Copies of this chain bind each other. A is one copy, B any other.
Amino acid sequence: MSENLIQRTVSAYTYPLLIKNLLQAPAVNDPQQEIVYRDQARFTYGEFRQRVCQLANALTEIGVKSGDTVAVMDWDSHRYLECFYAIPMLGAVLHTVNIRLSPEQILYTIDHAEDDFILVNEEFLPLLEQIKGRIDTVKEYILLQDGQQQPETTLTFAGEYESLLAESSDSYDFPDFDESTRATTFYTTGTTGMPKGVYFSHRQLVLHTLSGMAALGTVVNHGRFHQQDVYMPITPMFHVHAWGVPYIATSLGIKQVYPGKYTPDMLLKLIDKEKVTFSHCVPTILHLLMSHPLFNELDLSNWKILIGGAALPKAMCKAAMQKGIDIFSGYGMSETCPVLTLAHVTDADLSDDEDLDIRCKTGRPIPLVDIKIVDEKMENVPVDGQSVGEIVVRAPWLSQGYLKDQRNSENLWRGGYLHTGDVACRDKHNYIKITDRIKDVIKIGGEWISSLGVEDLLSAYPGIGEVAVISLPDNKWGEKPLALIVTKPDYEINEKDLVQYIRSFIAKGMISKQIILLKFKFVEAIDKTSIGKVNKRLLREKYMQQSC
């Protein structure tokens, strides 16, 4: 390919995509617009910009320099938002520590990320005390606290956040540098092994922000995010930058509300008092909010909520809509910055059921996202709303690997596409619907069959209390399915009837013919993980041995 790059005049400014440039318009249009922290503090955008400069000066004074890693351990706060900007804008890396991990795992991530500095909320001091003798890389700690009281701790601090800011100049000339400079790092937790680090450059975060603005802004009505919304995250800022929405909200220059540690009471009061119109959370958090007495009392008809992290159950979606909430789904993962798809309803003429159906789908790609749904040979599966394959993806904001982990990085990116491990189908309107994790799919004679679909059918059978369908290796078919069934007390299940039941769905074309191979095993209990999910990995190991 012959090169025909644009010529740059000597004096011409080559504009890098840096996080500092997200503070250009429209973020500056209304300097009086507010950033609110719980019921405790309010700052204007003008003050926010000054505080970002003060933080940069304070960190520089303490010794932070370009290339250093600065970790933050805090609940969602105005401070965290200031760190989202000041730390990367210095050329340093922001490590958003997952404070839900065990102390040993946190120690592992601090070590692995090679944190040079840690900004820590006083609430996490007991946690740090447990591991502090073994932290080798950290030079200084900075104390974050809401009150004034000196905390009891054996740690020493370079200073307290607010005092440091107060002593620092409110102007800072942030330098230009390569847009591929690492801006952030954080750790994902799988079901096996230690946490894996992902990382994002300035360019990636800027492009994720722009594409997110374009996707959320240009929908006609449902799930729109615009310049007059009021934003409050309910996905932690340590988790994939609160899905990147704080960068979008700040770029829009809108009012933002940071709720600190999540409690249903505080969250609902803030939505009401600060007139929050746009949030995002996982289904379990929404469930907590919906179960709180305040939920029924409040008018939430101006609230839009983006659900991700797990499939949005239809019942939950319907209940939220009945309350007047504009609810919809999105999809992404830690490795993808995260947003890949959004499930916006763009057709006003749908029936209520169709509308509900779309809101609970995985969604359609946002601009620049190239999603393929492929079989094991990386060939596209048919776009028919039925055929399933693995979601593989390209976008300008995907983690280019796992930090210092060559083997897992190559596996993530095999074939030049990021492998999500999610199995999905796609319909003719480009809506994607995840049906399984790839490890839970049963592959019979080259065909991929959803274990969840079979489980749904079996759950409806009289007397079946609990069920898990797993796949076991098979010489002839590759894999064959096994249903583990816990019978309800006082029931007895006739296996022949059950086979007949399953065959009736095969006959109707509702499930694959290959399900004829399904075997049943009646068990006392089904193994779960520590958070209550069916542990299919363990079940496969257990029953594979028994069947050998």
Which residues of A are at the interface with B, using a C-beta cutoff of 8 A?
Answer: 1-15, 17, 21-22, 24-26, 28-31, 65-67, 91, 93, 175, 177-178, 180-182, 199-201, 204, 206-207, 210-211, 213-220, 225-228, 251-252, 346, 364-371, 394-396, 398, 400-401, 403, 406, 409-410, 412-418, 428-430
- How far, in whole Å, are A204 and B226 apart by their CA atoms in the complex? 25
Tell me if B178 and A3 are in contact (CB < 8 A): yes
- How far, in whole Å, are A201 and B429 apart by their CA atoms in the complex? 32
Tell me if A7 and B175 are in contact (CB < 8 A): no
Tell me if A2 and B66 are in contact (CB < 8 A): yes
- How far, in whole Å, are A7 and B401 apart by their CA atoms in the complex? 7
- How far, in whole Å, are A11 and B394 apart by their CA atoms in the complex? 12
Residue in B17, B227, B401 whose CB lies within 8 Å of A8: B401
Point out the residues of chain B lying under 8 angstroms from A400, CB to CB: 6-9, 12, 14
- How far, in whole Å, are A502 and B15 apart by their CA atoms in the complex? 46
- Contact A2 to B65, CB < 8 A, known contacts A9-B406, A25-B369, A367-B251: yes
Q: Taking each of A4, A6, A429, which has the highest tally of chain B beta carbons within 10 Å of its own beta carbon?
A: A6
Tell me if B210 and A3 are in contact (CB < 8 A): no
Residue of B nearest to A175 (CB): B1
Shortest distance in angstroms between A532's beta carbon and chain B's nearest beta carbon?
34
Known interface pairs A2-B66, A8-B400, A12-B401; 12 further A-B residue pairs with C-beta atoms within 8 A, sorted by A's residue number: A2-B67, A3-B181, A9-B401, A12-B416, A15-B394, A25-B367, A28-B430, A29-B429, A30-B429, A210-B368, A217-B226, A228-B346
- How far, in whole Å, are A25 and B17 apart by their CA atoms in the complex? 22
Residue in B182, B225, B429 whose CB lies within 8 Å of A218: B225
- Contact A66 to B409, CB < 8 A, known contacts A9-B400, A210-B367: no
- Contact A413 to B226, CB < 8 A, known contacts A201-B5, A367-B251: no
- How far, in whole Å, are A182 and B67 apart by their CA atoms in the complex? 33
Residue in B5, B178, B213, B367 whose CB lies within 8 Å of A182: B5
- Contact A15 to B430, CB < 8 A, known contacts A10-B410, A218-B217: no
Point out the residues of chain B lying under 8 angstroms from A24, CB to CB: 365, 367-370
Residue of B nearest to A178 (CB): B5
Residue in B11, B213, B214 whose CB lies within 8 Å of A413: B11
Residue of B nearest to A228 (CB): B220
The list of the 8 closest CB pairs from A to B, nearest first, reads: A217-B217, A9-B401, A217-B218, A25-B365, A213-B214, A9-B409, A2-B67, A11-B413
- Can you name 11 A-B pairs with beta carbons within 8 Å? A5-B181, A7-B400, A11-B410, A11-B414, A12-B400, A13-B416, A25-B364, A25-B366, A210-B210, A213-B367, A214-B217
- How far, in whole Å, are A181 and B3 apart by their CA atoms in the complex? 7
- How far, in whole Å, are A284 and B104 apart by their CA atoms in the complex? 70
Shortest distance in angstroms between A287's beta carbon and chain B's nearest beta carbon?
30
Tell me if A4 and B93 are in contact (CB < 8 A): yes
Residue of B nearest to A92 (CB): B4
Shortest distance in angstroms between A371's beta carbon and chain B's nearest beta carbon?
8
Tell me if A1 and B200 are in contact (CB < 8 A): no
Residue of B nearest to A404 (CB): B7
Point out the residues of chain B lying under 8 angstroms from A227, CB to CB: 218-220, 346
- How far, in whole Å, are A201 and B398 apart by their CA atoms in the complex? 23
Point out the residues of chain B lying under 8 angstroms from A22, CB to CB: 367
- Contact A218 to B252, CB < 8 A, known contacts A24-B368, A394-B15: yes
Point out the residues of chain B lying under 8 angstroms from A228, CB to CB: 220, 346
Tell me if B12 and A413 are in contact (CB < 8 A): yes
- Contact A396 to B17, CB < 8 A, known contacts A365-B24, A367-B25: yes
Tell me if A1 and B66 are in contact (CB < 8 A): yes
Tell me if B364 and A29 are in contact (CB < 8 A): yes
Residue in B1, B180, B403, B415 whose CB lies within 8 Å of A5: B180
- Contact A182 to B4, CB < 8 A, known contacts A25-B430, A225-B218, A346-B227: yes
Point out the residues of chain B lying under 8 angstroms from A29, CB to CB: 346, 364, 429-430
- How far, in whole Å, are A423 and B21 apart by their CA atoms in the complex? 24
Residue of B nearest to A28 (CB): B430
Residue in B177, B206, B251, B368 whose CB lies within 8 Å of A21: B368
- How far, in whole Å, are A365 and B367 apart by their CA atoms in the complex? 22
Point out the residues of chain B lying under 8 angstroms from A3, CB to CB: 67, 178, 181
- How far, in whole Å, are A390 and B205 apart by their CA atoms in the complex? 32
Shortest distance in angstroms between A101's beta carbon and chain B's nearest beta carbon?
23
Tell me if A13 and B364 are in contact (CB < 8 A): no
- How far, in whole Å, are A175 and B3 apart by their CA atoms in the complex? 13
Point out the residues of chain B lying under 8 angstroms from A414, CB to CB: 11
Point out the residues of chain B lying under 8 angstroms from A66, CB to CB: 1-2, 4
Point out the residues of chain B lying under 8 angstroms from A251, CB to CB: 214, 367
- Contact A367 to B219, CB < 8 A, known contacts A396-B17, A415-B11: no
Residue in B219, B409, B428 whose CB lies within 8 Å of A12: B409
Residue of B nearest to A185 (CB): B6
